[in-house]
Structure 1
Amino acid sequence: MKNVHTFSKITAVILLASASASATANSETKAKASIDLNLRYEKVDQDNTKKDASALTLRTRLNYTSASYNNFTAVVEFEDSRQVAGINKYNDAVGNNTQYSVIADPETTELDQAYVQYKKDGITAKVGRQVLTLDNHRYVGHVGWRQDRQTFDAATITYDALDNVKMSYSYINKRNRIFSNEKDFNAKDHLLNLAYKTSYGKLTVYSYLLEVDEGTANSLDTFGVSFNGKKDKFSYSAEFATQDSESGATDYSASYMAIEGGYSFDAVTLKLGAEVLGSDDSMVGFSTPLATLHKFNGWADQFLGTPKEGLVDLYASVSGKAFGGGWTVTIHDYSADESTDTVDDLGSEINAVYAKKFAKNYKAGLKYAAYSAGDSTAGKVDTDKIWLWVSANF
């Protein structure tokens, strides 16, 4: 904890100094401030003993980005999430109202970002609390769907001066997760990502070496390669990764595979895909603890943690435009990667969303997820979720 507090104090001093210098010197770019608001209603209905949940929450995010001075800029951002109009019958995932189903939007006010950035000649260096996203968020993301998004206390360096090549490295010493401050983790995480663009698509290799700094030996090491591209009306992607973990008496290895193909017609786009989060002898499943998990394996959030039998997600989606907005419908079929006598069918799900921008600064949307459980011994139940939201950015 001492190292984390020292890191935060140093960052704060640097921020103040940089902001002061930017305000008094001839700046290269102007300072700017912004506000982002998101008002959302969410309802959850599950076929279990939990009461149906409902929440109306408002997330406010205030950002100030300093002017640039000698290639340095500083960013300070605060985030607040409040319950609105007394619509707060939900388990907030940090211990309140546990008789209801979970809606993971606890009330919170916190420092969302605070970092100093240096940028010159293809090199970008960033130190402090920051948003980190890599590729499609499968391994590292900001979990931006939730009102309290995920950020990291980290040092990041990116190099993209070479044609078609981009390299990045991050060291994380704290994971600021989506549960206010209740479930943040001190960490010793190393993220290395190298991407090369070709005429057919982008080839990426990566290694993510994760460790929760809790005083006991543990590791979660993932090495992988992905390729994704688009040619005419076709899109395609493929990915493979291996993972090894050691934590106490647990020692396992698992693999990850994903493939997707799409075709755009004049009015709609169709996609078919498969994602396999492997299992080690039905004991432990492949894990991605820093990911934007809501983006994958269905919006009902039934697989935020991979089952110990692993997960095979076969899906098909169709998307298009209507009335000035965009819509998508996706169908998932889930099964175990390494089935047992009692767990094989992990259910199915349908997702649908429509969202539209209007009046330049506003966006509204409606989203629905319906999960149908498979084998009863898998611990899942039928779940319906609905969201209605409006956001504004100034």
Structure 2
Amino acid sequence: MRGLKMLLSASAVATTATPALAQDIMFKPIIEARLRYETVDQDGPLPLTSSRDADAVTMRMRAGGELSSGPFSFLAEAEGTLAIDESYNSGVNGKALYPIVPDPETVEVNRVQLQYKTKPLIVTVGRQRINLDDQRFVGSVAWRQNEQTFDAVRAEYMGVKNLKVDLTYAISARTIWGIDGGKFGAANRPTHIDGDNIFANISYKSKLGTLTGFAYLVDQDEPVAALLRNSSQTYGFRFAGAAPLAKKVKLSYLASYARQSDYAKNPVDYKADFVTAELGLEVASFKLTGGYELLGSDGDATGIAGGFAFQTPFATLHKFNGWADKFLTTPGTGIQNYYGGIAYTVPKLGKMGPLVASFIYHRFSSDRLSIHYGDEYNAQVTLKIDKHLSALVKYADYDRKGIASFAGDADTRKFWAQIDYAL
């Protein structure tokens, strides 16, 4: 009888322990979908026999999940893009008579990572998404259907109050060009860019804002236009913050400076500066923004006729220098971007919201030789439909001034309509 009681007691312990163990392992599904229409109307430099506009209807799906137990987690996510209407040059599909819409058909492992996470320390190993600061130097290029991820080891330390140390060593960038990267002569659009890259950020948060010092050492194996010119070392700082001026009135500010030079295998000897300054004023539902950005040029760069300029190959470039994407590669004479914008937010629209409407104007000129490249007008409306759905319409109009000053310098108009779903 005593033995039977002991057996029943052991059975009860096992029964209560099993649910506790099951509760300790959590699963979070990842399901995201995006349907987008993009059209591009671009004047030369297309072939003279072609007057085609690009029309792209693409669907992007991401699916996966994250298993977590205590401080440890494992995440795996697949990504695929389908071209429903492929009347466009994806950059790797060989349809050179159309303007480029860089959303190629692809299927890939987007992320697969192991992570250790506690309050003072996060360590992530594997293929991962990395967005640093405002993504001006390192980002995931989330605007494109196939995002950029990195094969990397990343450590984030927050063990000292108001201080964060963020260090990454990346051996490969998985680009937006997908599984067909490099095809049809697109050698400068590879599936992945291998190398030895170090991203280092140290930031301190105060009442006035966050001061960040950074160092980005980019050592790429793959050449660009027969030269390893994207291998570079960049050192700089960034300060960003906001301060209330009155009820429903807030001032925001941003200032950043960096110095870039050749590094590792880059045969081009150059030095160039980066400067940005921005002010924003929020008054109730309105926000006004004005700023200036410089990506400088070295006219004495060795081996490069016309000079060589500051480059940010791992940035989320669509966020900066206009949505028409005319300056994804900085021209040899550099860029000066003067810009101003206004945005209006409607917090609620029935059961939907917020709705945000914005307009931005850019004036682009060179750092050297006093070239006025052109002007650009950007407009966008976004609407949060419910907790899973959001919608967007967007327009960009780049108006070239004078003769073409760099590859792709042409009058360009783009329009997007998009629906996003996230679980």
TM over 0.5: yes
Residue 318 (1) aligns with residue 342 (2): yes
Deviations 1:181-235 (CA, angstroms, capped at 9, x unpaired): 3111111000100000011000000000000124998730000001010001100
Q: Indicate which of 382, 387, 390 corresponds to 2:416.
A: 387
Residue 206 (1) aligns with residue 207 (2): no
Q: Contact 1:27–1:67 at 8 Å: present in 2 too?
A: no
Residue identity (%): 35
For residue 260 of structure 2, what is the amino acid of its counterpart? Q
Q: How many residues align?
A: 366
Query: What do you get for the CA RMSD once the two structures are aligned?
Result: 1.8
For residue 329 of structure 1, what is the amino acid of its counterpart? F
Whole-angstrom CA distance in 2 between matches of 1:137 and 1:248 = 24
Secondary structure of the residue aligned to 2:404 is: helix
| Residue 327 of structure 1: how far off its partner (Å) | 1.1
Residue 167 (1) aligns with residue 165 (2): yes
Q: Contact 2:228–2:267 at 8 Å: present in 1 too?
A: no
Distance 1:255 1:27, change over 3 A: farther
Larger Cα-atom Rg: 2
**Hey, which bits of structure 1, 4+ residues long, moved more than 4 A?**
23-27, 214-218
| Residue 248 of structure 1: how far off its partner (Å) | 5.0
Whole-angstrom CA distance in 2 between matches of 1:271 and 1:43 = 28
Q: Contact 1:331–1:350 at 8 Å: present in 2 too?
A: yes
Residue 131 (1) aligns with residue 129 (2): yes
Q: Contact 2:78–2:110 at 8 Å: present in 1 too?
A: yes
Distance 1:288 1:348, change over 3 A: same
| Residue 374 of structure 1: how far off its partner (Å) | 1.8
5+ residue gaps, structure 1, are: 1-22
Residue 285 (1) aligns with residue 314 (2): no
Q: How does 1:76-91 map to 2 (within 5 A)?
A: 76-84=76-84, 87-91=85-89
Q: Indicate which of 97, 102, 105 corresponds to 1:99.
A: 97
Residue 195 (1) aligns with residue 209 (2): no
Q: Indicate which of 39, 44, 49 corresponds to 2:40.
A: 44
| Residue 92 of structure 1: how far off its partner (Å) | 0.5
Q: How does 1:171-320 map to 2 (within 5 A)?
A: 171-181=169-179, 182=181, 183=190, 184-214=192-222, 219-232=231-244, 233-246=250-263, 247=265, 249-281=267-299, 282-320=306-344
Whole-angstrom CA distance in 2 between matches of 1:150 and 1:386 = 23
Deviations 1:319-348 (CA, angstroms, capped at 9, x unpaired): 0114431111000000001126xxx01100
| Residue 267 of structure 1: how far off its partner (Å) | 2.8
Secondary structure of the residue aligned to 1:294 is: helix
Whole-angstrom CA distance in 2 between matches of 1:110 and 1:217 = 26
Q: How does 1:45-64 map to 2 (within 5 A)?
A: 45-48=41-44, 49=46, 51-64=52-65
| Residue 26 of structure 1: how far off its partner (Å) | 4.9
For residue 320 of structure 1, what is the amino acid of its counterpart? Y
Whole-angstrom CA distance in 2 between matches of 1:200 and 1:185 = 38
Which region of structure 1 is more displaced relative to structure 2, 315-324 or 111-120?
315-324
| Residue 315 of structure 1: how far off its partner (Å) | 0.1
Deviations 1:363-384 (CA, angstroms, capped at 9, x unpaired): 0110000000123130311000
For residue 112 of structure 2, what is the amino acid of its counterpart? A
| Residue 29 of structure 1: how far off its partner (Å) | 5.5
Q: Contact 1:31–1:68 at 8 Å: present in 2 too?
A: no
Whole-angstrom CA distance in 2 between matches of 1:365 and 1:217 = 38
Deviations 1:102-130 (CA, angstroms, capped at 9, x unpaired): 00000001000001001124111110000
| Residue 360 of structure 1: how far off its partner (Å) | 2.3
Whole-angstrom CA distance in 2 between matches of 1:213 and 1:381 = 31
For residue 202 of structure 2, what is the amino acid of its counterpart? L
| Residue 63 of structure 1: how far off its partner (Å) | 2.4
| Residue 166 of structure 1: how far off its partner (Å) | 0.6
Distance 1:24 1:91, change over 3 A: farther
Whole-angstrom CA distance in 1 between matches of 2:358 and 2:404 = 32
5+ residue gaps, structure 2, are: 1-18, 182-189, 245-249, 300-305
Aligned residue number for residue 20 of structure 1: none
For residue 278 of structure 1, what is the amino acid of its counterpart? G
| Residue 59 of structure 1: how far off its partner (Å) | 0.2
Aligned residue number for residue 387 of structure 2: 360
Q: Indicate which of 26, 30, 33 corresponds to 2:29.
A: 33
Which region of structure 1 is more displaced relative to structure 2, 124-133 or 214-223?
214-223
Which region of structure 1 is more displaced relative to structure 2, 87-96 or 211-220?
211-220
Whole-angstrom CA distance in 1 between matches of 2:202 and 2:105 = 37
Residue 337 (1) aligns with residue 355 (2): no
Whole-angstrom CA distance in 1 between matches of 2:25 and 2:277 = 42
Whole-angstrom CA distance in 1 between matches of 2:116 and 2:20 = 18
Give the TM-score normalised by structure 1: 0.89
Secondary structure of the residue aligned to 2:26 is: coil
For residue 368 of structure 2, what is the amino acid of its counterpart? E
For residue 164 of structure 1, what is the amino acid of its counterpart? N
Distance 1:24 1:178, change over 3 A: farther
Whole-angstrom CA distance in 1 between matches of 2:148 and 2:316 = 9
Whole-angstrom CA distance in 2 between matches of 1:234 and 1:198 = 16
Give the TM-score normalised by structure 2: 0.83
Q: Contact 2:340–2:360 at 8 Å: present in 1 too?
A: yes
Aligned residue number for residue 403 of structure 2: 376
Whole-angstrom CA distance in 2 between matches of 1:316 and 1:61 = 35
Secondary structure of the residue aligned to 2:318 is: helix
Distance 1:291 1:381, change over 3 A: same
Whole-angstrom CA distance in 1 between matches of 2:243 and 2:405 = 41
Whole-angstrom CA distance in 2 between matches of 1:95 and 1:222 = 34
